[in-house]
Amino acid sequence: MFSKNVMTKHLKKCEQRKTTIEKQEGKGEIKIFHIMAEGRYLPQYWIHFEMPANATLKDLDNFLRDIWVECCGHLSTFTIDNIRYSSYPLKEYDERSMKEKVKLLARNEPPPIKCEICGKTATYVCSQCRYEGKGWLCDECASKHECGEEMLLPVVNSPRVGMCGYTG
C-alpha cells in the first residue's frame, strides 16, 4: 500500500510509464496529462490518471463519474487557473470512447473504517448519522441500527461514501 505522495513520486519516475509515453509521442500522438484528484472534503480518497491533451472536460467528468463519484447526476465543477467550469452529466455517453481517452494509473487503498459499536470492519454507513460523524457499522450492528435499513449505504472506496444514495 502506497501513500498519495509516494505514488505521485513513483509515477513521475516510473520507467515503464516514461517508455510508453515516449513511444506515443514519437508516433506524433498527442501529449498526455498526468492528473491526481482527491476528495474535496475527504482527501484520503485519491486517484491518479492520465488523459491526452485533446480530451475534454466532459471526458474527464464522465470518467470520474463512472469510476468514482456518480450517484444522482449532481453538478460537476472544475477550477483551472482560477476559472470555474460547471456542468451536469450527459444523459448518455460513449463509455468505450471515454475509457480509451482517460486511463486510471493508481488509486488509494480503502481507508480502514471500524464499526463504531464493536470495532469490526465497517461495511455500512448510515446516511443520516454520517453527518454527525457517526453511523459506521459492521453487518451485525447494522441489522440493529435504529435509523433502519433504508438509511444504510455500503462502505465504498470513494469520497461519496455514505452520500446521497451512492453505492459505488
Q: Any idea what the CATH number is for the domain that residue 145 is in?
A: 2.10.110.20
* pTM score, whole prediction: 0.78
- Of 107, 125, 159, the position where a domain reaches its end is 107
Q: Please, what's the b/e burial string for 144-168 (b: 16 or more CB within 10 A of its CB; e: otherwise)?
A: ebeeeeebbbebbebbbbbbeebee
pLDDT at 30: 75
pLDDT at position 155 over 80: yes
Residues 93 and 118 in one domain: no
Residues 49 and 90 in one domain: yes
From 21-30, 43-52, 58-67, 93-102, the region with the lowest mean pLDDT: 93-102
Strand intervals (E) in 12-155? 32-38, 46-52, 76-80, 83-87, 103-107, 124-126, 136-137, 152-154
Contact 167, 77 (CB under 8 A): no
Backbone angles phi, psi at 141, to 5 degrees: -70, -30
pLDDT at 23: 77
